[in-house]
Amino acid sequence: METYNKLKQLGKGTFGTVYLCERIHNKLKIVVKEINGDLDNKQVEVAKNEVAVLKALNHPNVIQYYDSYLKNGTFFIVMEYAKHGNLYELINRSKPNFIEKDKILSIFVQTLMGLDHIHSKSIIHRDMKCENVLLTGINGDIVKIGDFGISKILEMNYGKTNTIIGTTNYLAPEICDGQPYDTKSDIWSLGCILYELCALERLYSGSMSSVIVAIKAGRRKRINVDILGSELQRIIDSMVEVNPALRPTTTALLAHSFIYPITHTLMLSLGNIPSA
């Protein structure tokens, strides 16, 4: 930490504290996550998992990993800083009006491209939600997926996991049922995010029990198709299919006739190429 100055605390969770810092030599703002001192086995496992995930990823729409180290019993993870906050904050700022369709599509497709890269590395994010879709760039027009603390690298033999984890409002039905799940659970969550961008409200809200009942029943709300068009509604519906086998993959969504032209334009502007 001698190479950084702490500027302010950004957040605090079960396992540690996140700070906005500034590199002394070049004034670059970065995020430093400090995992609590006197690490027990669970905390060490969580910290090492996050670093393993971050090291595996390198994409314009994923928060960049810089460094990690252990010092005096505290584990540090150094990452890119997204200076324009997150999608949750943008949605709240936009109420009671709306977000323009072009901006919705740009945010959604950039998030989709980042998620495609994550899935190409056999990683499930497991906590896709508006708070973890970060905004940076000059005008907040570049999207970065962040917070990989509960992500999981899938075992190649099975490609599924069954740990019940994530944020209730964005949980896929198979997770609510305690069934094995794979990357299609992230697709469900991204469908919820797209709805929230369009409607400025959560697709599923209320008490935990009522949310889980609604998710398992596959209840849906409608966006304003008069303003946003029916194609966006169809894309949302495809992503929140109760049966995960019926949900599209990130690759299929990127190749969708409605989405592909936007994807192509964004790839050129970001200097990005499709993941293998």
DSSP 8-state symbol, 104: H
Contact between 39 and 47 (Cβ < 8 Å): yes
Tokens found for residue 249? 């993959």
Is 33 part of any known ligand binding site?
yes
Residue 62 zone, left/alpha/beta (φ > 0; ψ -120 to 50; rest): beta
Q: Among this protein's residues, is 116 annotated catalytic?
A: no
| 3-state SS, residue 206 | coil
- Report which secondary-structure segment, H or E, holds 80: strand 74-80
Ramachandran region of residue 72, left (φ > 0), alpha (ψ -120 to 50) or beta? left
From the list 33, 25, 24, the residue with the least C-alpha distance to 51 is 33
Active-site pick, 38, 67, 116, 127:
127
> What residues are designated binding site for ATP?
33
> What residues are designated binding site?
33
Active site residues: 127
